[in-house]
A = this chain, B = another copy of it.
Amino acid sequence: MASEFDLIERYFKRPVDPSLLGGGDDCALLSVSPGKRLAVSKDLLLEGRHFFSDVDPYLLGHKALAVNLSDLAAMGARPVACMLGLGLPTWSDVWIRAFADGFYSLVDRYQCPLIGGDTTRSQRDIVLSVTVFGEVDDALALKRNAATVDDDIWISGELGAADLACRMLSGELALQADWLAATRGALEQPIPRLDLGLALLGHAHSAIDVSDGLLQDLGHILTQSQVGAVIEETLLPMHAVIQKLPIETRRQTTLGGGDLYELCFTAAVSKRMAIEHIGRTLNVRLTRIGQIVERSGLTVLDAARNEIKALPDSYDHFKEPA
């Protein structure tokens, strides 16, 4: 059995720009450009809670960093560096090398070097804790409290695929092989919308990633901006498979389904053309789904423009697993 130091030496020692002072001291020392702020975020991912025990380690390494980078994307921050806490009850060379490869695939893609962390033996479950650092101009950062009455509400990508895959894999919904094939990529290998977040600086007012589901996360923007919203169900972009679901499941999945790393953002009506241009340039589907209004609360209209009264539960990491 290798020791903690062997693990770091063997798997997590790829070159880092020395100006960041990577592994090998009590702290890493980050530089911040003048006039910028450091955006920091951390997420805990636990076996049996956020991923299945038999998860592909490459995909797990990818996702552990992706979900954290998504928080930078939601503020329009540029990645600077990341740290990894890794608790393993046991490990094999093959497993940890695949995990490291998945993790480093995003380190490399987004130039977000791994500068330190902590590895330890856990009692029973795999424990992952990632902290990411990004840089953003304070005046432009996409904050949750900046939505303005009459703003358009936009969403990137499509809703529902990750949630559907998760429900099939957990046994909550009957597994259909073709549906799973079509949706599990969204669950297991989400792409953080970093390019989009950066492109929205100066265009969008507020943004959030919908990792806890559209209703809940848009709700955070509304609460913190002290505004309300009306969204139209017929406008929601959804994966083709989701359109085949019974209406209640479809609503649960599109409005309440979490584990989705798309951006929900708001922007003035005058910015529509600029934002559509960004979508085309980045090849990301961007859809207007509603409007910010003065009256507080979140209203969802159905196809007949009637308010949907029974809105689905939102995702909550602290609920009992289904």
Interface residues in chain A, defined as those with a beta carbon under 8 Å from any beta carbon in chain B = 1-7, 21, 24-32, 34, 37-44, 46-50, 70-72, 74-75, 77, 83, 85-87, 115-125, 127, 129, 131, 133-134, 136, 138, 141, 143-145, 207-209, 220, 224, 316-321
Contact = CB atoms under 8 A, between A and B. Distances in A.
Main secondary structure of the interface of A (DSSP, over half): mixed
B318 A26 contact: no
Return the 5 tightest CB-CB contacts between A and B, nearest first: A129-B129, A27-B39, A4-B318, A44-B85, A26-B74
How many copies of this kind of chain does the complex include? 2
Contact of A42 (B116, B134, B143): B116
A77 B30 CA distance: 12
B71 A26 contact: yes
A119 B318 contact: yes
11 contacts: A4-B316, A25-B143, A26-B71, A26-B75, A29-B136, A31-B37, A40-B116, A44-B118, A48-B123, A120-B318, A125-B125
Contacts of A37: 29-32
B144 A24 contact: yes
Given A24-B224, A143-B25, A40 B46 contact: no
Nearest to A136: B29
A257 to B, nearest CB: 16
Contacts of A74: 26-27
B46 A83 contact: no
B47 A129 contact: no
A141 to B, nearest CB: 6
Given A3-B319, A121-B49, A27 B129 contact: no
A312 to B, nearest CB: 15
